[in-house]
Amino acid sequence: MNRRRPGSAAKACRSALLALSTALCVSCVAGSGGVTRMSGGVRYEGRFVNPEAYAAYLLGVEHEARGEFSEALSAYLEAHTEDPDSPEIWARIGAVRCFASEPKGGPAAARAAFERGLRTDPAYYGNYLERARCAERARDFSGALADATAAVARCPEDEPANLLVARALQALGQSAEARAWLEAYRSYHAATIATDRALDSARGPGSGKEAALPNGGAAKAPGAARSGAFAQLRSGQTERARQQAQTELEADPSNADAWIATLVACDALRDDPCFEATISRLQTPSVSPSSTALGYLRELLARRAGVPVSF
């Protein structure tokens, strides 16, 4: 592709693109030195990326949003020429190659790009997320689940990745696990319309929508557990742990620790009716789960979903 020489308008555009650089570079990406950027009052260290790469990347984003995949691919390839070390660009190249193909052929068309992106930076979540979306489009829900959970492991707060995990679990017939995943995500993440809708769907008809926390998000989770059942779980007294957790949950339906302890005990006892009944009992947590409870929840979801979990 022949690159146009910048005139005065293009120079002004470059200045604007430099101002936008933070938005493209600091989301769940660990940089490797070179440039300091500020976002929301937080300083991030990252590598230098020249304005030509940003210009081509943003042009690709614009074309991709319009469904103009051939034009988007050309722009992203130009961006790659200017910035060959970018895993973000490989994620976009893979995405447009996938969506420019028939659903079943998408993963094969995009495979090389995603693999290049993962080799460039295995810690970057975006190539896992886009590969998961591509697999979901091809109805490969097991592959989508594996890559979506890998994306969450690298960027736990990313909403699209968490929602994709839940969709994949539901598509695989693991509705209770999908709901547990969303309840857990919702307990420590600020409320959004997309998450609330997904959770309403996972809860099933007539479940009712839970109210948001007063401050619009979850409270900070202290380390100390707020359920005595965890000590009983550690000592192997699973039935007593279940009884203790259920009593605590009866007394305070918003106690997220008691809810998690009940789920863990029901699962350990292989009592699926208990597990599914408990899923529906939690009200909006007054306080986010403790670090102890979250540790148990990670293990539970990993065991039920069959994939590693990190949040």
DSSP secondary structure of 232-297? HHHTT-HHHHHHHHHHHHHH-TT-HHHHHHHHHHHHHTT-HHHHHHHHTTPPSPSSPPPHHHHHHH
Place of tokens 């550690």: 234
Q: How far apart are CA 278 and CA 199, in angstroms?
A: 15
Assess contact for 240 and 262: CB atoms under 8 A: no
Q: How far apart are CA 53 and CA 80, in angstroms?
A: 7
| The predicted structure's pLDDT at residue 11 | 39
Q: How far apart are CA 116 and CA 98, in angstroms?
A: 15
Q: Per-residue confidence of the chain (311 residues) as pLDDT tens digits?
A: 333 333 433 333 333 333 333 334 444 544 444 554 444 454 545 555 677 877 888 888 888 888 889 999 999 999 999 888 889 999 999 999 999 999 999 999 999 999 999 999 999 999 999 999 999 999 999 999 999 999 999 998 888 999 999 999 999 999 889 998 998 888 777 778 888 888 888 877 644 334 333 333 333 334 567 788 888 888 889 999 899 888 888 878 878 888 889 989 999 998 888 888 887 776 666 667 788 888 888 888 878 777 665 55
In CATH, the number for domain 184-305 is 1.25.40
The span from the first CA to the last CA of the chain, in angstroms, equals 42
Place of tokens 């895993």: 87
3-state secondary structure (DSSP) of residue 222? coil
3-state secondary structure (DSSP) of residue 156? coil
- Number of C-beta neighbours around residue 207 at 10 A: 13
The CATH class, in words, for 28-172 is mainly alpha
Which helix (DSSP H) or strand (DSSP E) does residue 36 occupy? strand 35-39
Backbone angles phi, psi at 57, to 5 degrees: -65, -45
Q: How far apart are CA 73 and CA 278, in angstroms?
A: 47
Compute the half-sphere exposure of residue 170: CA atoms within 13 Å on the CB side of its CA. 18
| 166-201 burial code (b ≥16 CB/10 A, e <16) | bbbbbbbebbbbbbbbbbbbbbbbebeeebeebbeb
**Which residues are CB-neighbours of 131 under 8 A, at least 6 positions away?**
94, 107, 110, 114, 143, 147
Q: How far apart are CA 204 and CA 202, in angstroms?
A: 5
Q: What is the CA radius of gyration of the chain?
A: 22
The structure tokens listed for 70 are 């051939």
> Among 114, 123, 177, 122, which Cα is nearest to 143's?
114
Its pTM stands at: 0.64
Comma-separated ranges of CATH 1.25.40.10 domains in the chain: 28-172
Provide the residue type at 162 as one letter: N
Assess contact for 34 and 47: CB atoms under 8 A: yes
